[in-house]
Amino acid sequence: MISALVGATAGVGLFLIWWSCWETSDRGNRKRQPGRLAELLAAAGVDKVTGRGLAGTCLGLGVFVALVFYAVSHSWPIAACFGLFGAWLPVTILRWRAKKRTAMLRQLWPDVVDHLRSAIRAGLPLPEALIQLGDKGPEELRPLFREFGADYRAGGQFDGSLNKLKQRLADPVADRIIEALRLTREVGGSDLGKLLGTLAEFLRENARTRSELEARQSWTINAARLAVAAPWIVMVLLATRPEAIQAYNTPLGAAVLLGGLIVSLVCYTVMLKIGALPQDERVLR
C-alpha cells in the first residue's frame, strides 16, 4: 500500500514537471478585443445593437432590396448589384454617424478639460471632478458622465468606472485623457492643472486645424460619391426599358455589370484613400 502511494506521488510529480516545460495558453486571461462591427457601433454611439445584429440587418436589407429590384426589373444581375448596395447601406450610415460623432467630440473635449482643470483647482478629487461633469459639462456628454457617477457610487472602484466610461465614449482623445487622469491618480503629482491647461490648448488647435482641412477635403469626397453614383442612377433608368433588361440578363451582360461594380468600388476606395486625412487610432483602449 505504501509503495503504491509513493509510486502515485512520484508519477504525479513527474507529470507536473513535464507539464511545467510547456507554455500555457493565456487565452482565458487575455482581454477579448471587440470586432470591427462592435468598434464601429461603439464609435457611432449605438450601444443597443450588437455586431451580429448589425450583420443580420445588412443581410436582411440586402435581400429585401434585391427582391424589390427583381420585382421591378425582372433581372437577377441588376437585382444582385443593388442588393449589395443595400446590404452595405447600414455600414455606410454607421460610418457617417461615427464620423459626425467624432467631429462633435473633438469640439467638446477642450471644454471638458477646462471643467476638470477648474474642479481640480477648486480642491475636488478626481472622481468628484468627473462626476461633476454630469451636471456642468457639455450637454452632449452629461449622460455618459452621469453613468460614470452611478458606477463609481455603486462599486467605489475608480479604475473600473473609468474603463466603463472609456468603452462608452469609444474615442481616441477620451482614451488619452482618461489614461492621463488614471496615471496622475496612481503616481500623484502637482502639475495636473498645468498639464490639463496645455492639453486643452492642444486640443483646440488640433480641432481648428482639422476642421479647415476637412472643409477643403469635402469636394474630393463629394466628387468621389457622385462619380460612383452616376452610372448606377443611369442603370436604374435603363431598368425600365425591356431591351436593356434583356441585354443584362445574358451572361455577357452579367459580366459587364460585375466588372462595373468592381471598377466602381475600386475607384471609390482609391479616391477616398487619396483624399483621406490621418485618423486617430485607439491605442490606449
Determine, yes or no, domain membership for 279.
no
Determine, yes or no, domain membership for 139.
no
Ranges of the chain whose pLDDT falls below 70:
1-8, 10-34, 187-191, 280, 282-285
What pLDDT is stored for residue 59 in this prediction?
92
Determine, yes or no, domain membership for 133.
no
What pLDDT is stored for residue 26 in this prediction?
42
Determine, yes or no, domain membership for 169.
no
Name the domain count of the chain: 1
Residue located via cell numbers 496645455: 198
Determine, yes or no, domain membership for 22.
no
The alpha-helical segments, DSSP class H, found in the chain are: 2-20, 36-43, 51-73, 76-121, 126-136, 142-155, 158-169, 172-187, 192-238, 242-248, 251-275
Encode pLDDT of 150-160 as tens digits: 988 887 788 88
From CA 126, how far away is CA 137, in angstroms rounded?
15
Residue located via cell numbers 468606472: 161
Global model pTM greater than 0.85: no
What pLDDT is stored for residue 30 in this prediction?
43
What pLDDT is stored for residue 165 in this prediction?
87
Domain interval for residue 59: 38-123+189-274
User: Which contacts qualify for 67-75: CB closer than 8 Å, 24 or more apart?
Assistant: 69/239, 72/239, 73/239, 73/245, 74/245, 75/239, 75/245, 75/248, 75/249
Determine, yes or no, domain membership for 143.
no
Determine, yes or no, domain membership for 216.
yes
From CA 159, how far away is CA 164, in angstroms rounded?
9
Secondary structure (3-state) at 27: coil
Determine, yes or no, domain membership for 184.
no
What pLDDT is stored for residue 87 in this prediction?
92
